[in-house]
Structure formats: C-alpha cells, structure tokens
Amino acid sequence: MLTTNKKQKSWKITATKTIDYDVIQITSVFNPKNELLLTTAGNKSSKRFVIIDEALYEMHIDAIINYFKTHNITCQFLPIPAQEQNKNIDIFSLICKELDSYGIKRRSEPIIVVGGGVLLDIVGFVASCYRRGISCIRVPTTLMGYIDAALGIKTGINFNGYKNRIGSFSASVLNILDRSFFKTLPKRHVVNGVGEIIKLAVIKDAELFKLLENDIVKCINDKFITTGNEILKMAIQDMLEELAPNLFEENLERLVDFGHTFSATLEMHDISNLLHGEAVAIDICLSSSLSHIKGILRMDELNKIIKLINDSFLPTFHEKITPKLMWESIKEKKLHRDGFQRLPLPVVIGKATFVNDIKYDEVCMAIDLLKNLADKLDSAKKNH
C-alpha cells in the first residue's frame, strides 16, 4: 500500500507477505507415484535442477533419474561435498554459476535440494538470493534436517569465522520428510540430531523427555527407521509450535535458542571435529549448569539432563571450553539478541525462563560444576 503525503513530499510504503509452506512426512520420496516433487509455484514445467549431497549421489541417482523420466521432466544434477567446512560463499557462488548455465524459470521450476542441514542451509540461501528469490523444495536426509533445518525458514552460510553470519529468512515451498534416508546415515549423525530433540524436551516437553529416557538407545541403534514415531512427531510439533508464530524472529526471546548460546563459538573453534548437534548438547549441559548456579534449576533435574545427554552417546563437555571463550560467546549472542543476553535456561524439565544478568563469575562456576559432573561420568564409563 502506498500513502502519499503531498505537503511534506513524503511517501510511506507498507506491504505484507504471506508465508505459506508445507512440511510433509512420507515414505519413498523418489517413488514415481509420489507426485510431491512435481510441485511448482507456477505453471507446469518440464525442467528441474537437483542439488544433492555428494555422499548421496551414487546411492540415489538412478531412482531420481527414473522418477523424472517417468514424469517426462529433464533434470540436471549438481553434487556438492556438504560439510560444515564447505558451508561458505565459494559453494554459494558455485551453485549460482551452475544455475546460470542451466537456466531455470523463477517460479515454475523449483530447484530441489537433497541433503543434510548444511546443504539445506546453503541452497535455501541461494534460492532466496538468486534472481532475488526462486522457488525451492527441500528433502532432508539427516535427522538434523528432518527435525530442525527443514522445518523453519532460516537459511545461511558461515562467514568470517562466524557461524551462519550471512543468511536470510526465506521459506521453501515444500519440505518433504522421508526417514528411509536414515538407513545409510552413520550412527554419529543420528546421535547428532538427537541433540536438538533433547533441547526441545528440556525447554518445553517433559513428556518427550520421559519418552527419550525410556527409548533413546533403542531408537539410536535402529536409526529411527522403525522406532521413535512418537518421538519424531512430538519433536516436529514442538519445534513448529515455537517457530511458526515467530518465523522472522521479531521476538528475540526464543526458547529454541536454548543450546545455542555457547555452541556456535565452540563449533567454529573445532569445525573439523565437532558436529552441530554435539555442540548443542554441550551447550545444553553448560546452560543447565548455569541455571543451577543461579538457583533456578534443582541439582536432581540437572543430573537427569546430563544423564540423558550422556546416555544418548552425546558429549557433555569439551576441552576448548574456557571462561574467556564462553564469556565471548555470551557477548557475541548479546549483539545477536539486540543488546540483551536473553539466555533461555531450564526451570524444571519441560519449562524454561529467560535471563539477562549472567555474570562472568557465574560462567566460571558453571564450567567448574559441569567439568566435575562430566569427569564423574567419564570415570564411571571407564570402570564399567
């Protein structure tokens, strides 16, 4: 809408954009009977550009070719080595250049991305920038993608040593969740996704926490292929309940930021070793210890949280944790959260609050406490 103020020679422009996208759980995404991959945001079209994680290319290329051949659609593939170290501007420009060579229509030929959270984030960012926005369909292939990266509208790449420093809010028209991909996912990457599920349980879902306590080892061993239906459903529901009313993060007090105060710094300091979900798990332990130090979380609840992380084969501590580095993380997050710490801390399992008055000494005490608890777990493991 345009409002013209003739006297003052000024104009006011107001516009709203409706965000409308689907998240759909299915099996066998590349079965030609599934017509979801044919979805377009415009007229029918006969061309597709598929960006696929290099690790998945050999495994799925025949099925994808067959899928599009059955539907008379020509297809170009771009395999990308998708690791955190490659989540950068070089891969971003490479994809843009390949799109230039192939030539796609802005709306009716959605690009399709098949991969983990890293590739979803990069391609989502390309889709939001290329020609100022093209249509995109996301097919996550990791647990992290399935219960987190493919649900919201955040895209991004790492830049200047900082995680997700450049990015956008941009919805993909469709996100297709197919957990048959987990069959080939290494156990460590299954565990990695569990870090984000535990986060949700601690801050908002005591029932989910109980389910995890009972079933997590079984689910991890089975890679959530036939087990964990309820856990996945609850995690997706919990995540979307938090994301949907605040897609553009107008409210900077976000429960889903739990586990994301210290983790980004840790992850970037050990980028070749530490996975995102592992860093989140360590952050959950440290933030929960901080909550205990501040007199918010009881010791028995803290122990339960750390035990669940440990039982899920996730790390509880990291050698690079120092008071100085963790204090730097808080300062960095303060900028991100517009001048306030806005640190989500658990009150009891299933409920959280936000604090703005964490002091350096409290961070030191929380680190000491966590180190102690983590050492005890380690020696218990050794004696087992």
Ligand X SMILES: NC(=O)c1ccc[n+]([C@@H]2O[C@H](COP(=O)([O-])OP(=O)(O)OC[C@H]3O[C@@H](n4cnc5c(N)ncnc54)[C@H](O)[C@@H]3O)[C@@H](O)[C@H]2O)c1
For the annotated catalytic residues, the residue numbers are 154
> Is the CB of 56 or the CB of 297 nearer to ligand X?
56
Nearer CB in complex with ligand X: 110/145: 145
CB 37 within 8 Å of CB 188: no
Q: How far is the CB of 340 from ligand X (least distance, A)?
A: 22
CB of 276 to ligand X, least distance (A): 4
- Which residue's CB is nearer to ligand X, number 110 or number 124? 124
Q: How far is the CB of 87 from ligand X (least distance, A)?
A: 5
Of residues 364, 270, 362, the one with CA closest to residue 315: 270
90 beta partners:
none
Residue 110 or 152: which CB sits closer to ligand X?
A: 152
To ligand X, the closest distance from the beta carbon of 261 in angstroms equals 14
For ligand X, which is the closer residue by CB, 153 or 358?
A: 153
Using the structure block, give the residue that is written with the tokens 């580095």.
Answer: 325
What single DSSP character describes residue 27? S
Take residue 9 and report the two structure tokens written for it: 């020679």
Q: Name the CA dihedral angle for 245, 250, 256, 261, rounded to a multiple of 10 degrees.
A: 180
- Distance CA(238)–CA(261), nearest Å, equals 20
Contacts of 174 (CB under 8 A, 6+ apart): 21, 22, 24, 36, 39, 110, 137, 138
Using CB under 6 A, list all residues that contact ligand X: 53, 55-56, 82-84, 87, 115-119, 121, 141-142, 144-145, 148-149, 152, 154, 164, 181, 184-185, 189, 192, 276
Query: CA dist 79 to 55, 58, 98, 112, Å?
Result: 8, 10, 11, 12
The minimum distance between CB 217 and ligand X, in angstroms, equals: 20
